[in-house]
Amino acid sequence: MTDTIVDEGVDAPAKGAHQAEAATFSGPVMRVVGYIAMVIVFLIVALPLFWIVITSFKQRQDIYTQPAQWWPKNPTTNGYHLATTTIAFWDYFRNSIIITAILSVTKIVLGVISAYALSLLRFPGRTALFLLIIAALMVPNQITVISNYALVSQLGWRNTYQGIIIPLAGVAFGTFLMRNQFLSVPSEIIEAARLDGAGPLKLLWRVVLPMSWPTLIAFSIITVVNEWNEYLWPFLMADDQRVGTLPVGLTQLQQTDGITNWGPVMAATVLAMLPVLILFLALQRHMIKGLTAGAVKG
């Protein structure tokens, strides 16, 4: 489904440093090599995406041909029509949005506040607690599936939103990531804020978080993409389009026996990719902004 998106464009603000370095490898040769490398990377990323998009506009008989068609001979939006009508596409889409939104917000909030506690507040057993949380990170969710299923099923939560959301809301990865980010905030700043009378929440909200935007945004994007693509657990929990997510719904376009009609599959894939793509483009600017905004004047 949605692939992890490679960010291109982060190099814009950091150009100055790069050019200073590049000057040591002076000459047009290096520059050409650099451009060639860039083009190759771009092709590796863009070609599959391009192929998915044009396939979604092809007619069925134009999809499997030799030589390959690099542009649809008879462009059609029929694939999109089929993808959104043969399965309850918009129901799945709605569920995906709801589940991803709730899960991501929960994970981000829990991640930030737990990381803050573990890095900047002092209380007994802090290290032990951190180790426990890291231990939870080591357990892949595929292993806990069976026991979670038993638990959720006994609560009568099968085929409900909470049955899908709550077991997935564990957050160890975010805690780990954000804790290390918070620890890297210079202690002078923390002390200065405390001297100025900032309480724990103010310290988090006005001092530490603004210095951590890039990490937080990166963590948020990773979280959203992960939740959006989650398959195994929603598949086991959901029975139909009432709470099923897109990855679960899209499997119905594929054929168990027989021939998969790839046009609708690709069309649905494009539609499923869009929200994450839009979110990424919207947040990317902030990531760069965060990278360049220095808190300490040096």
Contact residues: another protein, CB under 8 A: 60-61, 63-66, 110, 113-114, 117, 121, 123, 129, 132-133, 135-136, 139, 144-154, 156, 158, 166-172, 175, 199-202, 235-236, 238-240, 244, 248, 251-252, 254-262
b/e 118-136 (16+ beta carbons within 10 angstroms → b): bbbeeeeeeeeebeebeee
Place of tokens 């389009």: 241
Minimum distance from CB of 163 to another protein (Å)?
A: 11
Q: How many residues does the chain have?
A: 298
CB-based contacts of 85, cutoff 8 Å, min separation 6: none
Nearer residue to another protein within complex by CB, 149 or 213: 149
Nearer residue to another protein within complex by CB, 79 or 244: 244
The alpha carbon of residue 77 and the mean position of all alpha carbons in its chain are separated, in whole angstroms, by 28
Minimum distance from CB of 192 to another protein (Å)?
A: 18
CB-based contacts of 167, cutoff 8 Å, min separation 6: 144, 148, 151, 152, 233
Nearer residue to another protein within complex by CB, 202 or 286: 202
What is the Cα–Cα distance from 171 to 104, expressed in whole angstroms? 10
Minimum distance from CB of 87 to another protein (Å)?
A: 8
Cα angle at 274 between 72 and 262, to 5 degrees? Answer: 40
Tokens standing for residue 164: 């899908």
Minimum distance from CB of 154 to another protein (Å)?
A: 5
Nearer residue to another protein within complex by CB, 2 or 288: 2
Nearer residue to another protein within complex by CB, 38 or 183: 183
- Environment class of 113 (CB within 10 Å of its CB; exposed 0-12, middle 13-18, buried 19+): middle
Nearer residue to another protein within complex by CB, 107 or 185: 107
Minimum distance from CB of 280 to another protein (Å)?
A: 27
What is the Cα–Cα distance from 85 to 216, expressed in whole angstroms? 38
Minimum distance from CB of 182 to another protein (Å)?
A: 15
Minimum distance from CB of 217 to another protein (Å)?
A: 23
Among candidates 172, 175, 212, 171, which has minimal Cα distance to 190?
212
Nearer residue to another protein within complex by CB, 33 or 132: 132
